[in-house]
Amino acid sequence: MRSCSDVHNFLSEEDIPHEIIHLTRHCRTAARAAELLGVCSAEVVKSLLFLADGTPTMVIVPGDSTVDAGILREVLGARRVTLAKAARVLETTGYRPGAVPPCALKTEMPLVADPRVFEAPVVYCGGGTTTTMLKIRSADLKTLVRPRLEPVCART
C-alpha cells in the first residue's frame, strides 16, 4: 500500500513545490478535512475513482461538490459509469479511499477535472493516508496531472 511518502517523493522528483500536512485525526471526507485545516470545503479536492465501462478513470472535483454520473458518462462516451468500491480503489490507486491523491497513483489512468478545482490558488488533496493532506498550488496541480477539463459536478 502507498503512503504520504510516495506522494512526497513523486512530487519532489517532479520538482513540484508542495507540503504534506499531518492532521491530528483521521479524516476520510472533504468536509472533515476542510474543518481540520480551517479552510473552505471548495479548497479541498476530492479524488474519486470511477469505472467507465469497467475502465478506471480518476475524477477530481471541489470538496463541496459531487460528480454527476450522467454528465460523466456523456463526457467519457461510456454506457455505464460507476464509483469504484473500496477494494478496487486500493487495488488500482495503491491508496485507501479517503486518502487518494490526484497524482503518484499505482496505475496510470485518464484524469477528468471539473474546472472549479483550479479556481482557488492553493488546494488541499488526499495526502496518501487518512491523516495527511497534500497542499499544492492549483496551477502546479493542473500542470502536473494534465487533466481533461470538463464540468462534471452535479448542478444544485
Compute the distance between CA of residue 23 and CA of residue 132 in angstroms, rounded to an integer: 6
153 domain residue, yes or no: no
106 domain residue, yes or no: yes
C-alpha cell recorded at residue 153? 459536478
Q: What is the mean pLDDT of residues 7-25?
A: 97
- 17 by Cβ neighbours in 10 Å (0-12 / 13-18 / 19+) ranks as exposed
Cα dihedral 3/24/142/12 (nearest 10): -50
pLDDT reading at 87 higher than 70: yes
pLDDT band at 156 (very low <50, low <70, confident <90, very high): low
92 domain residue, yes or no: yes
pLDDT, tens digit, for every residue of 114-140? Answer: 999 999 999 999 999 999 999 999 999
pLDDT at position 28: 87
C-alpha cell recorded at residue 36? 481540520
Q: How many domains does the chain fold into?
A: 1
pLDDT at position 155: 75
Domain that holds residue 40: 4-147
Q: Could you tell me the pTM of the whole model? A: 0.96
- 134 by Cβ neighbours in 10 Å (0-12 / 13-18 / 19+) ranks as buried
137 domain residue, yes or no: yes
Identify the DSSP state of 44: B
152 domain residue, yes or no: no
Question: Which CATH number is 135's domain given?
Answer: 3.90.960.10
pLDDT, tens digit, for every residue of 40-71? Answer: 999 999 999 999 999 999 999 999 999 999 99
38 domain residue, yes or no: yes
The answer for residues whose C-beta is within 8 angstroms of residue 128's C-beta and 6 or more apart is 2, 3, 4, 5, 6, 7, 20, 95, 99, 101, 104, 134
Please give the share of the chain, as a percent, with pLDDT higher than 70: 99
